[in-house]
Structure 1
Amino acid sequence: MEDLRMVPDLLWIARGVAKSVPNKVKLDPAELQQLIQGSGNLDDESGEEEGEPMEEDTPAQEKSAETDSDAKYRKHDIDDDKVEEAYLKDFDAEGEENAMRGVAMYASNKDDPYITQQVDSDEEEEKDDILIKPNDNLVAVAKVVKDEYNLDIYVYNQTNEDWYCHHHYILEAPPLCLETIQHDPGNDETGKGNLIALGTMDTKISIWDLDVMNACMPIVTLGEKSASKEGKSRKKRDGSQQGHSDAVISLSWNRNTPHVLASGGADQQIVLWDLDEAKAAQILPPRGAEVQTIQWHAKEDTVLLAGMMNGTVQIIDCRDNESPPVAEWKFGGQIEKVIWNHFDLQQAIVTTDEGEN
């Protein structure tokens, strides 16, 4: 771990939320077949219709030889000792036109007539490798490793003393904060999900589905900029921003109103996001400093606790944008974390960069 530069945030995933066998992103069989047998480019920009031969400078005799070689692959009675010779000949003839020809001819081994002993246990073994057991705990870790940014999902099992990276996602921008979301608008059956929101340095919030492994992109991105010609971020008709104009440094999901996510930014604003609509629903007035940490009240679904870098802690009623905070305190150092005391919801716990609680 000598290359690890920073762990901006980490959090536990509630046990029992994740699927026991996560989904895994795989290349579509039709696309894989096209990649193997076609030109190797899924997005053919040549403009040629399917099945129409392309014009090449290859002599007619060489074209005929390639056609005869392809015909051999379709025969089931070809001698085994000639298979390798035919594959290599065809690979040399085609060169860089299709790098996968000669390596594989079929998207699945079950379609290959030369593989007579099929093994059906590979998929089951793969499921065992990615299986999340009932007593497993998941930990999401945002990492900065050299110039790479990752979101790693670890499995921790106290009984077996297991600790390993189960899967990870590659991020486009440095991560700053994480928040779990158990609300999935795309789940028509239960409406629940195993999502995680991630705030970054580039003003956006990416939301990932932790039940999908090997995903290349988040399922949705909140606050994507639509820059104008002057380079200014897009605004609503009333002149207000449609999201953050600076880094997103704090997040909190409202468990009482599951479609609401709050975010605090270096732009001193708090934005309330409608997850069902994937857009900003309400933007609170600037708080006077960067909003370092926020948390919704466990019972009052409109009450938000916020801590700023200037040492201010506020209790905000989000129903009224114009009124001052319900309560406010001033501390000596920067506020690092605020949480409601779950033993007594009339109290809050505050920590600062000077070690005060």
Structure 2
Amino acid sequence: MISALAWLPRGAAKTTPEVTEPTAEDIEHVKDRADAEAGETSADVDSDGEAPVKPKSTRAKAKAAARAVGDLAGGMDELDMDNYDDDSDEDGAAARLFGSTAADRVFENNADDPELEGDEESDEEIEDFTIRDTDLLFLAARTEDDVSHMEVWVFEESDDPGEDGNMYVHHDLMLPAFPLCMAWMDCYPDPSMASQHGNFVAIGTFRPEIEIWNLDVLDAVAPAGMLGGLKSEQLEPEEGASAAGDSKKKKKKKKAPAKPVLKEGSHEDAVLGMCWNYNFRNVLASGSADCTVKVWDVAQQKCDRTLHHHDGKVQAVAWNPVEPQVLLSGGFDRTAQLVDMRTENGATVEVPLTADCECLVWDLKNPSCFVVSSEDGLVVCHDVRMLMDKSKKSKSTVYTLGAHDAATCAMSFNPVCHELLATASTDKTVKMWDCTGGKPSLLHTADLKIGALFAMGFCKDAPHLLAAGGSKGVVSVWDIMTKASVANRFDDSTQYPRSRVRQNKMSCLRMDYNIDGDSKKRENVWSDSPEDK
């Protein structure tokens, strides 16, 4: 399944990413994390008598990653490359005797070498590896067969309006646990490089830490930074356990490793939502299943502030695009909360919801309004100015929309057509809404054929493109302007040319990508008569 998506700004990635080999420290880091997870699970069961919150697959995946890295290191040890030039004369003679074949001949011209006939394929691979200025990149968090990883996708737009684009996975990163959310950022998790602009992604999982990965580095084993999580040193096992009771249980306690200790300021449970503050580049907000909202200093890798204003798990957070000190959050306590981070006590304004919060976004055309979706499928818009006035708080609702029959898991305002709102749901549909004048009207409904939808968003650099991912583990990119109902409404007021309206043309690419790294199922979802609703 695809659990999270995020577009990268065009030009943020390096033309040629760096290729690294795992160091001894990286290998130890992965192994230590696997051991720590095993210790955390055992300690939790022994001390509390309850099953751990984290799923068993988390520990298994971490150990699998450690084994993979260990196998790589072991293979390099067997090759003994450090002593490659120290072969004895007998070995050299044997190599010359058995290696004097046509394959070892030296040619003055490479064109005469039959072993170099496959260069065209190599050139194609190099071309795919190189990221061009015109390429659009997005991230997809995938879990398949209890293995989770984050994929970097490249989307190439076609120069011909009548042709579809092309997309493929450029590279991916193995993750230690099921990914729940992600946020792109350009801030280095290093105070000495905080003024420079990079290409990073923060990933929240079922674990309490937030991992920060450098997207310009391939084959990285360890993240570039970590917000919260486990301390490197662990507590010693408790001594003097009671001699009374079951001897079998006592024996189990004796073998149990110490319970891991979290870093100061760390979340204590899964990280469910995150939002990067692009006005203050070193600031990241996160919401967790531990019922807290935390504001992080990414450069220092430290928690700057912890908020306890929710009584349930915090599902989503969002910074205001115009007032970057204002933070919006929504949780399973059926409330949305507004916090002005400039206040010392972190006073909040509470907005009741009809069900658990699923997603929330700020209105790009009117940043004093925000839209929140809930588990019952409702989408509600509130005016902050009314909320701040107690006498008008009851009138803060701008509109209420019964968007879907199931949970509305994702929403996105178009970065150019600010009145255009896209909603996605576990009912397997994406809907386009015209919110002009605070009176939403449905423009289009489509089934992307990728199952229940969990993640979706517009591309800022190509606003006509919408990426979505769902339960079938398939990524879909849809050119929304191929639908006349959408294009006819917004063509006159935006930069979109009417030539983009290609009725009866295939307009949505769907691609799957398996764990082994092979692209498959590159399909056009819709035939000449799309099954739109």
After superposition, the Cα gap between the structure-2 partners of 1:118 and 1:222, relative to the gap in structure 1 and judged at 3 Å, is farther
Which of 6, 27, 32 does residue 11 from structure 1 map onto?
6
Per the alignment, residue 351 of structure 1 pairs with 373
Per the alignment, residue 286 of structure 2 pairs with 263
Q: Residue 184 in 1 paired to residue 184 in 2?
A: no
Q: What is the CA–CA distance in structure 1 between the aligned matches of 2:125 and 2:21, rounded to whole Å? A: 13
Per the alignment, residue 166 of structure 2 pairs with 162
Q: What is the CA–CA distance in structure 1 between the aligned matches of 2:335 and 2:314, rounded to whole Å? A: 10
Helix, strand or coil: the match of 2:354?
Answer: coil
Unaligned 5+ segments in structure 2 are 24-72, 111-115, 159-163, 239-258, 380-533
Which of 227, 230, 240 does residue 225 from structure 1 map onto?
230
Helix, strand or coil: the match of 1:194?
Answer: strand
Q: Residue 174 in 1 paired to residue 169 in 2?
A: no
Q: What is the CA–CA distance in structure 2 between the aligned matches of 1:278 and 1:117, rounded to whole Å? A: 55
Q: What is the CA–CA distance in structure 2 between the aligned matches of 1:124 and 1:41, rounded to whole Å? A: 31
Q: What is the CA–CA distance in structure 2 between the aligned matches of 1:293 and 1:299, rounded to whole Å? A: 19
Q: Identity of counterpart residues, as a percentage?
A: 28
Q: Give the alignment of 1:1-357 within 5 angstroms.
A: 6-26=1-21, 40=79, 67-72=88-93, 78=96, 82-84=97-99, 126-159=125-158, 161-184=165-188, 188=193, 191-226=196-231, 227-229=234-236, 231=259, 233-234=261-262, 241-320=264-343, 322-325=345-348, 327-357=349-379
Report the Cα offset of residue 67 of structure 1: 3.9
Q: What is the CA–CA distance in structure 1 between the aligned matches of 2:175 and 2:359, rounded to whole Å? A: 25
Q: What is the CA–CA distance in structure 2 between the aligned matches of 1:37 and 1:350, rounded to whole Å? A: 52
Q: Which residue identity is paired with 1:299?
A: V
Per the alignment, residue 414 of structure 2 pairs with none
Report the Cα offset of residue 222 of structure 1: 1.6
Report the Cα offset of residue 170 of structure 1: 0.8
Q: What is the CA–CA distance in structure 2 between the aligned matches of 1:260 and 1:37, rounded to whole Å? A: 40
Q: What is the CA–CA distance in structure 2 between the aligned matches of 1:139 and 1:153, rounded to whole Å? A: 6
TM-score, structure 2 as length reference: 0.49
Q: What is the CA–CA distance in structure 2 between the aligned matches of 1:41 and 1:151, rounded to whole Å? A: 32
Of 311-320 and 223-232, the range deviating more from structure 2: 223-232
Deviations 1:201-257 (A, max 9, x none): 11111111111222222111221212534636346xxxxx52100000111111111
- Which has a greater percent of helix? 2
Q: Which residue identity is paired with 1:192?
A: H
Report the Cα offset of residue 188 of structure 1: 4.5
Report if the CA contact (8 A) 1:180-1:195 is conserved: yes
After superposition, the Cα gap between the structure-2 partners of 1:72 and 1:276, relative to the gap in structure 1 and judged at 3 Å, is same
Q: What is the CA–CA distance in structure 1 between the aligned matches of 2:78 and 2:213, rounded to whole Å? A: 33
Q: What is the CA–CA distance in structure 1 between the aligned matches of 2:182 and 2:19, rounded to whole Å? A: 22
Report the Cα offset of residue 70 of structure 1: 2.3
**Larger CA Rg, structure 1 vs 2:** 1
Helix, strand or coil: the match of 1:203?
Answer: coil
Per the alignment, residue 422 of structure 2 pairs with none
Deviations 1:140-183 (A, max 9, x none): 01011011001011112231610211111111111110100012
Report the Cα offset of residue 324 of structure 1: 3.0
Aligned length: 291
Report the Cα offset of residue 38 of structure 1: 7.4
After superposition, the Cα gap between the structure-2 partners of 1:67 and 1:12, relative to the gap in structure 1 and judged at 3 Å, is closer
Deviations 1:9-45 (A, max 9, x none): 11111222112222222589xxxxx999975468x9x
Unaligned 5+ segments in structure 1 are 1-5, 29-33, 45-49, 54-65, 87-111, 236-240
Q: Which residue identity is paired with 1:318?
A: M
Q: Which residue identity is paired with 1:268?
A: C
After superposition, the Cα gap between the structure-2 partners of 1:71 and 1:179, relative to the gap in structure 1 and judged at 3 Å, is same
Report if the CA contact (8 A) 2:6-2:139 is conserved: yes
TM-score, structure 1 as length reference: 0.71
Report if the CA contact (8 A) 2:310-2:333 is conserved: no
Deviations 1:39-91 (A, max 9, x none): 5468x9xxxxx9xx9xxxxxxxxxxxx944224279xxx5xxx23389xxxxx
Report if the CA contact (8 A) 2:187-2:299 is conserved: no
